[in-house]
Amino acid sequence: MSSCIICGKSVDGRICEIHQEDVVFEFRGSHPGELTPGRYYRGTVDGFAEFGVFVDVGDSVTGLLHRSELDRRLDSLDWDPGDTVFVQVQNVRDNGNVDLGWSIRQDETEFRGTLIDDPDADGELLAEEEDVDEEGEDTPAGSEPAGDDSKAADGTGAETARSEPSVDGMGAESSMADSDSRGGDAATGGDAMRDLSLVTIDGLDEHVGQRVRIEGGVASARQTSGPTVFEVRDETGTVDCAAFEEAGVRAYPEVEEDDLVRIEGGVERRRGQLQVETEALVVLENEEHEAVAERMEQAMVDRARPDEVDPLAEDAAVDAVAGPLRDAATAIRRAVLEGRPVVVRHSASADGYLAGVAIERATLPLVRQQHRSSDAEYHFFDRRPLEGSVYGMDDATGDVTSMLENSERHGEEIPLFVFVAAGATAESLDGLELLDIYDARRVVIEDRVVDGEVADTVDTVVSPTLTDGGDTSATALAANVAAAVNGNVRGDLHHLPAVSFWEGIPDGYATLAAEAGYDEDAVRAIREAVALEAYYQSYEDKRELITDVVFADRGEVRGLAENVSEQFGTKMDAEIGTAEANLERREVGGETVVLLDTDAYTHRYEFPPEELLLDELYRRHREDATALVGLATDEAYVRTDADVDVRALVERAAETAPEAGLDARGAREGRVEFLSGERAVARDALLDALAGALSATPEA
């Protein structure tokens, strides 16, 4: 028995039940289950998301302080990554997620005491009790043990050094450590260090107790109450290098993020984690800088590049883009390795959602492996649907604003942007070029025509239209990219291509889905359910709901797809019935064209959207009509199996109706825009141009 440090009551431990909330704890455990709900803990800001703040509680556990727990707006918090904060552990979930609460006390002096919560110790410890060295000799709290250059990085405990774990075979696991060391003035050149062997970060665990030399880039530099901790990344991993000048004083102040450096120091392990105690740090310049940069670049590409991956099924279109497909997979894997967020932009259609979900399914497990935060999958991967298929300046401005804010406030890397069934036409050039200004890498995965200007602008294009590879779907392409990104999820993707085809499912994909347990009815139900859910709140990813619809294969969640599919059928049949009663047939250039006034004979702002309704109408009437045109207030949709170039169609129509403001901005969806006041003129000009296009097309 001992006495409560506040009231003196006899207790088992150092604090009585009544005063648990009056002290702040330093956590020394390694697992969320070792935390005690209700206690207040000192933490470190790890990062930010729209829904809250990630806080490291100790070295190995991260929790989420949800914005609903704050007493102020999230964007008004004056916190930066690495800042010390005080939070209350409210709940530790079965999956290891830690729910944190706000503490009105954000200064240690506002608490009535401080204790060390060390699961390996016999109860809580006072700070001075932890400062007893391994030989049992007392060391004054906050002082440096004799014969040992290390000291706690925050003045009270160990500073952890993160490294990059293996990502699906992409690299060996590196280590973490918790001691610091003395630093000095940075130098340029490296003659003083060349007698030491160069060691990669993933091999540091073989050199514990030895002096080594490492080379890499400075990912971050944070000042603790003790040493300055430089997070250094080479081609194999990341490790913290602690340099001590004077308690709380910045060592090597001229060293900045993104500098390439050479570090000499000792490798130490404590509590199973590694850190380099920096004895000398050199900023690399000129030829040395270039040599290390090239080595790291090539090693990163080699590490990220997947092995050759067999196509999911026989598909000439996929075979034709085998090289670009592998390049796209390499870009995604590399982004994960670099700690770079992956942002998937896709059209809000069934094909767009399914294609985006395929990339999501493959990438999320790699993100979880790479980052220790329980909510990393929401922080380092984002799927953002677009209203259409054009990536306009409005979309790009929002993305750039968000990424610059995250970079400035939280040190986040510039994301990799992956465009799926979107961003492939010239109308997206302004948005794509805005991303390019900030060196954001861009990948386009598209089954339809990719304009040459776009192909020349972005980093990687996966499209069979550039190689005459044949027809397929965006989902079929994205699913094959996903299989290359992460072979462990290959089986999860087998049914996705079949789901994406509204008709004429290729035999190879139909067989693949059936072998995975998805028969024709299941494939149809999932397709229709995704199409319906894609319509509602189309700007949201609906990650968990879409996952339930797409990937569950039995029980109640399979029932979810079937239930939503029934709603799809009911709503679609009602709209089709109204539309078919009001179709107008016209003979245009010797061909039958079906015309529907969508303003007058569809329900606006209700499912199905015009594009989906017109697709279904044309499927039902293609036997007796060569084309279908849906006419709204200021836009028209053209549906035909004939080889009609919508842009060329608009150019011809504009010659006879220059005042109508005709624009093929939505060419991928067969959509034409015009001025609402010139609706009748635009309609007639479009029909005349369509007549010419159909008469000139052999299929017509």
pLDDT in tens, 687-696: 999 999 988 7
Calpha distance 86→109 (Å, rounded): 12
CB atoms within 10 A of CB 322: 17
Q: 524 and 413 in one domain?
A: yes
With 0-12 CB in 10 A as exposed, 13-18 as middle and 19+ as buried, what is 516? middle
Number of domains, the chain: 4
Would you place residue 180 in the very low, low, confident or very high pLDDT band (cuts 50, 70, 90)?
very low
Q: 533 and 655 in one domain?
A: no
The two tokens of residue 468 are 């005459």
Q: 558 and 447 in one domain?
A: yes
Rounded to 5 degrees, what are φ and ψ at 505? -60, 125
The pLDDT value recorded for residue 174 is: 35
Do the domain assignments include residue 142?
no
Q: 375 and 507 in one domain?
A: yes
Rounded to 5 degrees, what are φ and ψ at 410? -125, 5
Residue that wins the pLDDT comparison between 327 and 138: 327
Calpha distance 506→590 (Å, rounded): 33
Q: Which CATH number fits the domain that encloses residue 587?
A: 3.10.310.20
pLDDT of 141 strictly over 90: no
Give the residue from 112, 130, 148 where a domain finishes: 130
Would you place residue 682 in the very low, low, confident or very high pLDDT band (cuts 50, 70, 90)?
very high
Do the domain assignments include residue 51?
yes
Do the domain assignments include residue 151?
no
The pLDDT value recorded for residue 512 is: 97
458 closest CA partner among 475, 477, 436: 436
Q: Which CATH number fits the domain that encloses residue 381?
A: 3.90.1640
The pLDDT value recorded for residue 183 is: 40
Q: 242 and 202 in one domain?
A: yes
Residue that wins the pLDDT comparison between 271 and 16: 16
Gap between the terminal Cα atoms of the chain: 94
Calpha distance 685→52 (Å, rounded): 53
Q: Are strands 442-445 and 40-49 parallel, antiparallel or unpaired?
A: unpaired
The pLDDT value recorded for residue 123 is: 65
Residue that wins the pLDDT comparison between 373 and 473: 473
Residue that wins the pLDDT comparison between 83 and 180: 83
32-46, 119-133, 496-510, 553-567: the lowest-pLDDT one:
119-133
Residue that wins the pLDDT comparison between 9 and 621: 621
pLDDT of 608 strictly over 50: yes
Q: 663 and 520 in one domain?
A: no
Which uninterrupted H or E stretch holds 354?
helix 350-370
Q: 228 and 372 in one domain?
A: no
The residue whose two tokens read 């028995």 is 1
Work out the angle between the directed axes of helices 543-551 and 555-580 (0-180°, nearest 10). 100
Read off the amino acid at residue 476: A
The pLDDT value recorded for residue 122 is: 64
pLDDT of 164 strictly over 60: no
Work out the angle between the directed axes of helices 555-580 and 610-621 (0-180°, nearest 10). 70
With 0-12 CB in 10 A as exposed, 13-18 as middle and 19+ as buried, what is 109? exposed
Would you place residue 158 in the very low, low, confident or very high pLDDT band (cuts 50, 70, 90)?
very low
Would you place residue 195 in the very low, low, confident or very high pLDDT band (cuts 50, 70, 90)?
low
pLDDT of 556 strictly over 60: no
Q: What is the residue-averaged pLDDT of the chain?
A: 85
Read off the amino acid at residue 327: D
Average pLDDT over residues 504-518: 95
Q: Which domain holds residue 21?
A: 2-130
The pLDDT value recorded for residue 297 is: 87
Q: 547 and 648 in one domain?
A: no
* This model's pTM is above 0.75: no
Average pLDDT over residues 36-62: 87
Helices (H), 458-495: 474-485
Would you place residue 684 in the very low, low, confident or very high pLDDT band (cuts 50, 70, 90)?
very high
Calpha distance 33→37 (Å, rounded): 10
Do the domain assignments include residue 160?
no
Do the domain assignments include residue 488?
yes
Q: 587 and 549 in one domain?
A: no
Q: 664 and 632 in one domain?
A: yes
Q: What is the per-residue pLDDT across 83-135, written as a single tens digit (0 to 9) for each?
A: 899 999 999 988 788 999 988 888 888 888 888 888 877 667 775 555 444 44
Q: Which CATH number fits the domain that encloses residue 238?
A: 2.40.50.140
Average pLDDT over residues 40-52: 87
**Percent of the chain having pLDDT more than 90?**
57
Calpha distance 24→112 (Å, rounded): 8
Give the residue from 269, 301, 333 where a domain finishes: 301
Q: 296 and 311 in one domain?
A: no
Calpha distance 267→199 (Å, rounded): 11
Do the domain assignments include residue 159?
no
Cβ-proximal residues to 686 (8 Å cutoff; 6+ apart), any chain: 629, 636, 638, 649, 650, 653, 662, 672
Do the domain assignments include residue 397?
yes
Q: 317 and 465 in one domain?
A: yes
Do the domain assignments include residue 47?
yes
Residue that wins the pLDDT comparison between 654 and 135: 654
Would you place residue 69 in the very low, low, confident or very high pLDDT band (cuts 50, 70, 90)?
confident
Give the residue from 537, 564, 591 where a domain finishes: 564
Average pLDDT over residues 189-196: 53
483 closest CA partner among 298, 340, 322, 262: 322
The residue whose two tokens read 């110790």 is 121
Average pLDDT over residues 535-560: 82
